[in-house]
Structure 1
C-alpha cells in the first residue's frame, strides 16, 4: 500500500480528520505562537503578579506577572520540537539495534538481541530517569534520555518485523544468490518495515510529550530561562490553590498534543492495515476500447497465451530455471489440466501467468499475454485492474489464503470495492450473492463468520466465490481438492464445472491426480522437469498417450478390479533437481525405452496428430486393440 493510499484513508475517516485537525492546530501554534505572543510571554509586570484569570489574562499571571496563556502557547514549539527529536533518536537507535542480528554474525547479533530483551522489560519512564541521571540535567540530557528510553521498544518492534520479513521466500532466494546481509537489509527488509515504524513513531511522539512534561516537572528537563509545558505545569502546581488555571493550561496543552499524535498514529495504522471504512476509486481496466484486443485462434478468443516461458531463480552456482520453455494457449471457456510430479513446474507456471513470481525470481517468455495484454511489458499499475477483475486464483490451502483476523464477507467484499467502486453495503450484498452461487448455505450468516468457522470444503467454496466477485475470464485452480475427502472433492470439481458453464471462463486446473484431470478438462498438459512433454485431448488420454512418462502416470493409478496380491506400480527413480537437468531427455534415466539418442539430445515438443503434441524420441504408439475395445464399450 502506497503512502498516498494510507493518507487518503486517514483523510476519509472521521477519526482521521479529527486527528489531522488537532495535529495541524498544534503545528500552527508551534510555528506562529512565538511570533504572535513571544513578547507578551516575556513581558514582566510587577503590578500583576500571581493574578487569577481575567479579561486581560485568561489564565492569569505567574510570579513575575507574565501572561500564563501566552507562555503556554509559546512553549508549544519547544515542547513539540524536543519530542520529535527524541522520537527520531529512539527510532534510529532502535532500528540499528533491531536489525543488527540480521546484519552481524550470529556471535555478535545474539548479545545485542539479549540486551534489547532485557531493556524492554523495564518501564520507559524508569529508563528515562536512569538516562537523565547519566546524561545530566537540562534540555540535551532530557532529549537523549527519552530517546534512549524509547530505543528498546523500537528495537523489539524492528526485530519482530525483520524476522517476519526474513522468513519470506524472496529473502531466502537473495541469500542463496550470495547477496550480502547489509544489502538484504537495505533493499529487502527496511522497505517492507518502514511504514509500521513510521506509524509507531507517530504514536510515540505523544508518549514523548508526556515524558518530557514529567522530566521538566521534576526539574530534570528544561531549565530557566527556557520553558516548556512540563516546567509551566510545575510552576502552576506550586500556586494551584491561588490560581488553578495556571496549572490547567499547560496540562490541557499536553493532553491535546499527545491525543493528536496518538490518534494520528492509530488512524494511520488502521489505514495501513486496510481497516479504514473508505470507498476506493475504481481503477481503469487495461482491456478497453483502444487497448489490445485478445488474440483469435480458429475464431476463438485466446484468454492466456504462453510462449517459451522460463522462470529462473538465482543460486550460488548461477541461475536455476525450474520452468524452461513452456508453451500453450487457453481459449475462452476451455478447461486445461496440468499434471506431473512435485517439482515439475506446474505451480510456478501458474504463478508466472498470474504475475506472482517475486523478485529476485525472473520471468521471461517470447509471449506471455492475458486477454491480449502483455504481462511482461505492461506496467504493474495498469495490470492491477485487469488481473484483479479478470483473473481468479483458487489456491491449494484456502486457510492460508484467507486473513484469519477478518470476516469472510469483508474479504470477499474487498475485491468488489477495490475494482468496481461499490459501496460497502453493495459489496457485502454481492458477497452474499456469490456465496449463494457456490452453494454455501445460510450465506447471510456465513459472511459474518471467520475463516476458522468454515470447514475445508466451505473455505474452498468461499475461495471460488472470491474469484467470482468480479467477472473472471480465467480461473487458475492450484490443487483445489488437496486434503479434501472424496465427496467434497467431487463437489468442488462440479462447482468449477458449473462456474465454467455459466460464466464461459477458462480454467487452468493443476493437480497430481491425472484421473481427475481426465474427467474434468478438455486438454491435458503433462509436465516433467520444467517442460511440457505431452499435450493431448483429455478424451484420448487413456487410449492415445504416447510419452512414456504419461503412460507411467496412468499405470500407477489403481483400478477397482486391480489384483490386491500384486504390488502397486510405481515410477522408479526420482525427477532431476532444477540445477541438475541432463543434456538429453530429463526422463531418460527412468524410461525403459531410453536410448543413446535420448541421453544426448532433448526432444522438441512436436505435433503427433491433430491437437496432440509430444516430446519424445520413442513415443508409445497406440495399442491396435484399443479402438476395438472403445467401440465395444460404446456399443454396450
Structure 2
C-alpha cells in the first residue's frame, strides 16, 4: 500500500511541476483546422472547440488543480483548528459561545455553504478557494474541539495553568502539539475531498474561469459531447478520482504509521546518590485552611465530597492524609492547589498560604503565588507530563516563565535536580520524552520538576501507589530528603497506613469529607481514639495475623455524598454509637498534646489491648 501510494503521489507531483513547461504551449495553441476532433493518433483525447489538444490541457492542469485544492484545505484546516483548539484555553463563557458557533456552522451542508460563498466572493479561483475554506473550517473545528477537550482534562494542562502561562503559550505548546497527529491525518484525507469539491465548483462555473482551466472546467467543457465523444469528459473525471484516491491512501498510510509504535528503551537505574548540604528547617506556618468545602453540581443533585476540612502544615513537616477511597482526600488537595474542575465550587472560612489570605489576592496574584510556592506530584506521572514535549522543556518551563531564567541556566538547574533524585543521566534524559522512561523514573522526574521552583509546599497525591516496593522506598526517601534540604512542607496522601506511619510526622484521618482525627504518626498503631481510625489500623494485616481467619474489614459503606449529614458521618458503621451521635455532628477538638478528634465518645486508649487479650 505504501509503494502504491507513493507512486501515485509521485506521479502527481511530477506532473504538477513539469506539466506546464512540457505541455503548456500545446495546451494553449488553437488549431482552427482540428476543432472538436475525436481521439486520434495526434490527439489521444481529441481537441476542444478551439482545436487545442485535450491531453496536453489535462496534464498541464494538474498543477493548478492540486495547488488550489491544497490551498483551500490548509486555509480551512488552519481556521477550523484554531477555532476548535481555542475552546481549551478560554474561559467558560467564551468556550460556550465558540461551541455554539461551531454547532451553528455545522448545521449547514458544506457544499451549499461553498456555493453560497463562491457566489459571494465572485466566480474565480480565489473565490472558490476561500469558499471551500469557509465550508470545511467547521468540520476541522469540531474535530479540534473534541480532541482539545480531552487535553483540557489532563494533569499537565492543570499544571500549566497553575504556572500562569498565557493562552497563546498554552495553545501552541500544550494543546496543539498533543492533538497534531490526528489533525494532520484528517487534513490529508480532506485534501482529496476538497479537490473533488473544487472541481465541482469549476464544473458549475463558480471556480476557475477561462482562460485558466483545471480538471473541473475541462470536465464541464467535455460534457457537451459526452454521447458522441465520451473520452474528453471521462478523462478529467479519471484524473480527479486518481488524485482523490491518492490523498485518501496517504491518510490511511499515515494513520497506520502513527499506530505503529516501537517499544521504548528504558534507561538503567542509577545507583549513585550524591551528598547534599543540610539546612535547618523553620517551624512557621506554610498552610492554614479552615472549614474547606467542595460542591460539585450534577444532573442527580449536588455532590459534597468535602464537608468542612480544617488543616495546617508547618515548614519542614510531612503530614499524611489517609482514608478510604471517596473520602475526599484528592479533592481536598486539588482545592488547596486551585486545580478543581471548573464546575466544582470551593468555599472556606480561612485559607492562608505563606501567611497571606487568598481572599486578599487577585486571580493573577493567586496563580503566581501557587506557581512559585506550591507544587503537586500526581499519582500517575504518565498523565502528569505532556507526551508531546521533551522532559527538559517541561522541567525548565516554570523557572523560565516566572523567574526569567535563561535557557542554559535553567537546563543546568534541571540537571542538578535530576542528580538530586538519583537520575544522573544528564542531557540524554532531558532530551527524552515521558513514554521513554519507566514508571519509577517518571515519578522521580516529577519530584525533580516539583523541586525546580523550591516550593514551600509539595502536595504528593499518592505518589507511590503504582510503584513496586523498592521504587516506593526510593520515592519516600527522596521526599524526606527534599523536606530536610529545603525545609519544604509535604502533604502526603496515601492509602497505605503502614507507609504513612513510617514516613510522616502527623497523620490526618479523613472520612466522608471531614477530618475525624489528627494525631502523631508514631501513635497511629496504638494511640488511635476514633472508632474509624481504629478500624482502619486494624484492617491492615501484619505478620502476626492469624491466617485461618479472614482479614478484618469495616462493615457498611460511607454516607451518600448527595445527602446531608445531621449527626456523626460514621454513625451507621460505628459499633460504639450512642443517641447523641445521631443528632449532633462532632467537631475536631483537642484530646491531648498534638492529638485532635471529632468524636463524642472517644475510645479508651487501652481498649485495643483489652480486645486483643479477650480474643
Helix, strand or coil at the partner of 1:467: helix
Pairing of 1:373-388 with structure 2 (within 5 A): 373-388=356-371
1:517-540 deviations in Å (ceiling 9; x for gaps): 111111100000000000111121
Q: Does the alignment pair 1:418 with 2:401?
A: yes
Pairing of 1:97-496 with structure 2 (within 5 A): 139=122, 145-151=128-134, 153-165=136-148, 300-316=283-299, 318-496=301-479
In the alignment, structure 2 segments of 5+ residues that lack a partner are 1-70, 88-95, 98-102, 155-169, 214-281
CA shift, 1:439, in A, is 0.6
In the alignment, what sits opposite 2:90?
none
Range moving further from structure 2, 451-460 or 136-145: 136-145
State the TM-score, normalizing by the size of structure 1. Answer: 0.59
Find the aligned partners of 2:151 and 2:398 in 1 and give their Cα distance: 25
Find the aligned partners of 2:310 and 2:608 in 1 and give their Cα distance: 33
CA shift, 1:577, in A, is 2.8
Find the aligned partners of 1:398 and 1:463 in 2 and give their Cα distance: 7
Q: Does the alignment pair 1:559 with 2:542?
A: yes
CA shift, 1:360, in A, is 2.1
In the alignment, structure 1 segments of 5+ residues that lack a partner are 1-82, 104-108, 120-126, 172-190, 231-298, 630-636
Kindly report the root-mean-square deviation, in angstroms, between the aligned alpha carbons of the 2 structures: 4.7
- Give the number of aligned pairs: 430
Find the aligned partners of 2:81 and 2:380 in 1 and give their Cα distance: 40
Find the aligned partners of 2:146 and 2:132 in 1 and give their Cα distance: 23
Decide whether aligned partners of structure 1 residues 379 and 570 sit closer, same or farther in structure 2, where only a CA change above 3 A counts. Answer: same
Contact 1:395 1:477 in 2 (8 A): yes
In the alignment, what sits opposite 1:601?
584
CA shift, 1:141, in A, is 7.3
1:452-506 deviations in Å (ceiling 9; x for gaps): 1211111111000001111111111000001101111111001100111111100
In the alignment, what sits opposite 1:512?
495
Contact 1:90 1:148 in 2 (8 A): no
Find the aligned partners of 1:437 and 1:610 in 2 and give their Cα distance: 36
Contact 2:127 2:207 in 1 (8 A): no
CA shift, 1:144, in A, is 6.3
Contact 2:80 2:141 in 1 (8 A): no
Decide whether aligned partners of structure 1 residues 146 and 498 sit closer, same or farther in structure 2, where only a CA change above 3 A counts. Answer: same
CA shift, 1:561, in A, is 1.7
Q: 1:619 aligns with which of 596, 602, 605?
A: 602
CA shift, 1:147, in A, is 4.2
Find the aligned partners of 1:93 and 1:504 in 2 and give their Cα distance: 46
Q: Does the alignment pair 1:521 with 2:504?
A: yes
Find the aligned partners of 1:315 and 1:612 in 2 and give their Cα distance: 37
Helix, strand or coil at the partner of 1:320: strand
1:370-389 deviations in Å (ceiling 9; x for gaps): 11223344122212332222
Contact 2:301 2:562 in 1 (8 A): no
1:399-452 deviations in Å (ceiling 9; x for gaps): 101111221112111122112211111111111110001111323321111111
Find the aligned partners of 1:312 and 1:339 in 2 and give their Cα distance: 21
